[in-house]
Amino acid sequence: MSGFDQARSAGAVSGEPEPSPAKSPRRLFVKSYGCQMNVYDARKMADVLAPEGYAETALLEEADLVILNTCHIRERATEKVFSELGKLRALKAARAEAGRETKIVVAGCVAQAEGEEIFRRQKAVDIVVGPQNYHRLPELLRRAKTSRAVLETEFPAESKFDHLAAPGPSEIRKRGVSAFVTVQEGCDKFCTFCVVPYTRGAEASRPVEGIAAEVAMLAAGGVREVTLIGQNVNAYHGETRDGATTSLAGLTSRLAQVSGIARIRYTTSHPGDMDASLIKAHRDQPCLMPFLHLPVQSGSDKILAAMNRRYKRSDYLALIAEIRAARPDIALSSDFITGFPGETEEDFGATLDLIEKVEFANAFSFKYSARPGTPAAELQNQIPEAVKLERLLRLQAILDRQRLSFNRKMAGRKLDVLIEKPGRHAGQIAGKSPYLQPVQMEGSLDRIGDIVRVEIVSSCGNSLFGRLLPDRPAREALR
Ligand code: 5AD
Ligand code: SF4
């Protein structure tokens, strides 16, 4: 499908004189859709633009530069972008009347997938930049001064990881006690429903020491928990200091040595890449939190094969048993798709049966959405919307019940909670359990950043309420 073709960048790049960064502060507004990687990328774009004189604003109206960081994974994402761009065009015109210039950038996976089409449909857009090229934003902005419609959606030979700016001290402070860190990007799995291999490209892992340096900087700014993110993060195979390659388990063990880091999580994983070393790490590495997001998508072998997931339901169930044997208190989360082409009531029943067998603590579920350019979109036996929705609601009813029951079972248990922020009411503080549940309790704000022992008293929906236990180390010593 042509939307996925790699368009070349418009306009010449090389040989241009490099103007010095502007001194006057300009305002940047970034709006992100979709996954955590987009949230992380948005921070990186702000980091790259800060030395160019751009300061972030929360007010769209005062922005000299607006970046829409888009998502393409499911339905109507593209249409949402164009409707948003229509509004931005009006804003740009209004600001122009007041003598102020506004540049509009479309970034993210819609930018990658739609490319030039975006300029055709919305003339107010100045720059379209794919996820592999954010480090080039300053240069693209300079080009946009003299040429219209600057497009950059190539997959460069060198890794974008080599170029992205390190977070500055003020940026680090904004990240609080828990931060996301991209360690891997792209995917080679080609599940037949998924756009990621086309929009994010081939799998690439960031070298270990670069990640460790970023995590050390974050820890110095008060971060205690890092979530390692990647489209297929457990396929991680990054270079070590001595030129060897290590798996995700090697990376987590390295990051656990960073002073101040107490908790490590990772997302999102493919069951096929859950190797023995990673399962063992869940047993042996105390920093690795006992919560695992491991998308299964379907419980039917026929549908799993049609999705090109490369495992059977029995493989998934055996894997879960192995993981639970290594770490008995691990909580599991998953992604599900209802109404994939050809899914019969029997296939769907197999998914419900798998859910009953595994018992998930959390889950994300979606109606199948035909994505242009993916093989499944071409299949003849598409399922009517009403059926997809009816199955989704049935599936979610079971998953909701499991989640609530998981949360209710916490009452009476003693959990370690990482305190993140003030609570909902005065005198309260809030944090996260090892299982990623929000926990509220009475306590003073100087506990933010501490890992405290809490007795859970009750639960309400997703939230837990607890009582701070005074008799455990008040402050976990920083290693
Ligand atoms: N339709 C519905 N859900 C999808 N996902 C990815 N592509 C599609 C699609 N075309 C879901 C999968 C994946 C999650 C990130 O989004 O469940 O794991
Ligand atoms: Fe998409 Fe995940 Fe499959 Fe990769 S493994 S193609 S990101 S669903």
Q: What is the pLDDT of residue 93?
A: 96
Q: What is the pLDDT of residue 160?
A: 64
Angle between helices 385-408 and 345-358 (to 10 degrees): 10
Q: What is the pLDDT of residue 461?
A: 87
pLDDT band at 21 (very low <50, low <70, confident <90, very high): very low
Does residue 77 register a pLDDT over 80?
no
Centroid of ligand 2 to alpha carbon of 337 (angstroms):
13
Q: Is the CB of 270 under 6 A from ligand 1?
A: no
> Could you give the CA distance from residue 177 to residue 166 in angstroms, rounded to a whole number?
18
Whole-structure pTM value: 0.88
The most distant pair of C-alpha atoms in the chain lies apart, rounded to whole Å, by 67
> Could you give the CA distance from residue 364 to residue 297 in angstroms, rounded to a whole number?
10
Does residue 164 register a pLDDT over 80?
no
Which has the closest alpha carbon to 108: 69, 55, 160? 69
Q: Is 264 helix (H, G, I), strand (E, B) or coil?
A: strand
Only one residue has tokens 């609570």, namely 423
Mutate to test the pocket of ligand 1, among 231, 304, 366, 395 (most ligand atoms within 8 A of CB): 366
Mutate to test the pocket of ligand 2, among 112, 229, 231, 233 (most ligand atoms within 8 A of CB): 231
* pLDDT per position as a tens digit, 337-368: 999 999 999 999 999 999 999 999 999 999 99
∠ CA 334-373-183, nearest 5°, is 45
Query: What DSSP assignment string belongs to 141-163?
Result: HHHHHHSS-EEE----SS-GGGT
Lowest mean pLDDT among 23-32, 63-72, 243-252: 23-32
Q: Is the dihedral of CA 341, 197, 255, 216 positive or negative?
A: negative
For residue 145, the tally of other CB atoms under 10 A from its CB is 11
User: H or E element: which one contains 205?
Assistant: strand 204-205
> Could you give the CA distance from residue 179 to residue 172 in angstroms, rounded to a whole number?
9
Centroid of ligand 2 to alpha carbon of 192 (angstroms):
9
**Ligand 2 closest atom vs CA 308:** 3
* pLDDT per position as a tens digit, 168-194: 544 555 668 999 999 999 999 999 999
Q: What is the pLDDT of residue 92?
A: 96
∠ CA 463-468-474, nearest 5°, is 130
Mean pLDDT of 135-160: 87
Beta-bridge partners for 202:
none
Q: Is the CB of 194 under 6 A from ligand 2?
A: yes
Q: Is the CB of 379 under 6 A from ligand 1?
A: no
> Could you give the CA distance from residue 272 to residue 316 in angstroms, rounded to a whole number?
9
Mean pLDDT of 103-124: 95
| Beta strands, E only, 240-338 | 245-246, 263-267, 291-293, 331-338
423 with 429: CB under 8 angstroms?
yes
Q: Is the CB of 434 under 6 A from ligand 2?
A: no
